[in-house]
Amino acid sequence: MKIGELAHRTGVSVRALRYYEEKGVLRPDRTPSGYRIFADSDIRKVAHIQTLLAAGLGMDLIGEILSCMAGESLLLDACRERLEAERRRITGDIDQLVHTRSLLDNLLATTSTASSRAS
């Protein structure tokens, strides 16, 4: 199928599909005239890419993980350690954000109290 049909069948823009190809996570065949030709299996691959992007993963990591995926289900055994490291990193980011929010809450509470007293 051509890129427009893949875009239609996946709900992903043609521009995004070209980006995925540029990043090496999609590898369509080419006709002699240069048109991209995608396999039916690319529909599943695009769905996997979208899921991983929604999980906050970058394209480089997605490329690594896609090599561990096959068929309808995610076969992640070979990438489990890498995914666990990414999860730990995200958890650390969340913890830092929660701490920062707490500091801001305290600052706002102090500022609010000081403003009330000044009035």
In this structure, the answer to whether residues 69 and 85 fall within a common structural domain is: no
Q: What is the 3-state secondary structure (H, E, C) of the chain?
A: CCHHHHHHHHCCCHHHHHHHHHCCCCCCEECCCCCEECCCHHHHHHHHHHHHHHCCCCHHHHHHHHCCCCCCCCCCHHHHHHHHHHHHHHHHHHHHHHHHHHHHHHHHHHHHHHHHHHC
Q: Which residues does the chain have with pLDDT short of 70? A: 69-78, 113-119
Same domain, 63 and 86: no
Q: What are 22-56's pLDDT values in tens digits?
A: 999 999 999 999 999 999 999 999 998 999 899 88
Residue 34 token pair: 């240069």
pLDDT of residue 118: 57
Q: What range defines the domain where residue 30 resides?
A: 1-75
Q: Same structural domain for residues 54 and 84?
A: no
Q: How many domains does the chain have?
A: 2
The model's pTM is: 0.70
